Amino acid sequence: MSDGPPLPNGAPMTVDLRGRVALVTGAASGIGRACAKLLAQNGAAVALADKNLAGAEEARDEIVTAGHEAVALEVDVASAPAVQAMVDRTIARFRAIDMLVHCAGGAGGRGDVVDITDDAWHAVIGMNLHGTMYVTRAVARAMVPRGTGTMVLIASDRGLLGDKSRSAYAASKGGVIAYAKTLALELGPHGITVNALNPGTTDTPAVRRSMPPALREQRIKTDPLGKLSESEDIAEEVLFLAGPAARFMTGQLMTTRMRAG
């Protein structure tokens, strides 16, 4: 069913998601866009949500042109009312949400803690940590009465290792990891699994815009595979976490690869 990248043995990864509905935030580009496309290729109806509506609509059009069902929604995840409207519109269109893939977030600018402003700190924390709570809360309220659901939260290895000159980003992603584990405890009795994924440094448009060339080369050098992952690589990991093979996996942090140094 999937026409995504083949596995090392040449067989494509396939998961039967027909009849299921996926909500993907941050779906206009990068990891979120790749996840939305791969879930749709495997049969899911997909709601693509992003602050960049034009980008979400472009991704939706690609999915629809390929013969799959999708809708594009505008959302600022740092706004609880906007998040609730996103969930309401998804349910109005598809009647339910079976899977949440929460990719929306941002790193903010670089600056040491002695220089960071209150506004810069709150902007990153509001998007990455408050936004994660707003999205999962609204989706959980829709999933709990049905007694089933899957959530995958995109975290970052910076939440474990720190990130020099990006303290707010590291703190927020560390919070997402702890939050995912707590949410798994709360929602498990309702048949809902929650896992977090550390994608490692991935060659997304946001990374290409914001990462200095010297830091990019350092990340490549310290990666045991000697290269950055592509968004499609991470989408394959999300497909596993969202599929039936991970039905008894919850409260876990999946990290794609270790760093050599």
Distance CA 110, CA 206 (A): 14
127, 75 contact by CB (below 8 A) = no
Confirm whether 169 is a catalytic residue: yes
Per DSSP, 201 falls in state S
Which ranges of the chain does DSSP label H, i.e. alpha helix? 30-41, 53-65, 80-94, 118-125, 131-143, 158-161, 167-187, 205-210, 213-222, 231-242
User: Is residue 83 within 8 Å of residue 75, measured between CB atoms?
Assistant: yes
Angle between the N-to-C axes of helices 167-187 and 118-125, in degrees from 0 to 180, rounded to the nearest 10: 30
Helices (H) and strands (E) in the chain, counts: 10, 7
- Distance (Å, whole) CA 197 – CA 15: 19
How many CA atoms are closer than 13 Å to the CA of 258, on its beta-carbon side? Answer: 2
Distance CA(41)–CA(59), nearest Å, equals 13
Active-site option among 169, 183, 204, 235: 169
* Rounded Cα distance, 203 and 231, in Å: 7
Q: Which residues are part of the catalytic machinery?
A: 169
